[in-house]
Structure 1
Amino acid sequence: MNDREILHQRLICLGDMMGDGLHLERDGRWIAREYKRVLKALYPEIFPKRNTTERDTAIVEWCKDNLCKDCGGKIKQTRKGSMRVVCTECGVKRQLKVRKHSNL
């Protein structure tokens, strides 16, 4: 058996476990995480890379124009692609925008 066949078998096994509802139990969160990891390894085209350069430049411009509301210090983006900023002086984190997901 090659690696791809082993991953397919693992994906089927994890899918069966999820079908039985084991991933919903208290100690079953690892099943869903492992399923997603194996699925990404088998089919990377399902999970496209996101281009966050526009978002990052908009956050940088916003940070130049705004200061911390608590201490007046400079603000910077916490990590690439995120909508969260942190004050460099007092360490307060702020969420700039919350995306609402529909349940459709």
Structure 2
Amino acid sequence: MQCKDIPDATFLDAVRTAPASSAIGWRNRWDVHEALEAVMGHEIPSNLLMAKARRLESRGLLGGCTCGCRGDWHPSDECGDRTYCCPPRTMAA
């Protein structure tokens, strides 16, 4: 399985459906991982999950930490502080 096998919308929907771990809507990677596996119907290796998250972040579709230190994410259209994690230059149109 490769990143291209996980549709962007499916990954972002998994982020949206994972329970928020804070009042500002961050979702931790373990909850997102569980939600994504439930939707996809099979196990997804952690390294693949992180690679897909990094690609979405680089394209401005996902905000948060994709290096693995914090592991909290949100769709960029839900970003509460774009100067911090989702700068306008990387935001999707």
Query: TM-score, normalised to structure 1's length?
Result: 0.22
Q: TM-score, normalised by structure 2?
A: 0.23
RCO greater where, 1 or 2, for CA within 8 Å and sep 6 or more?
Answer: 2
Report which of the two structures shows the higher radius of gyration computed on alpha carbons.
1
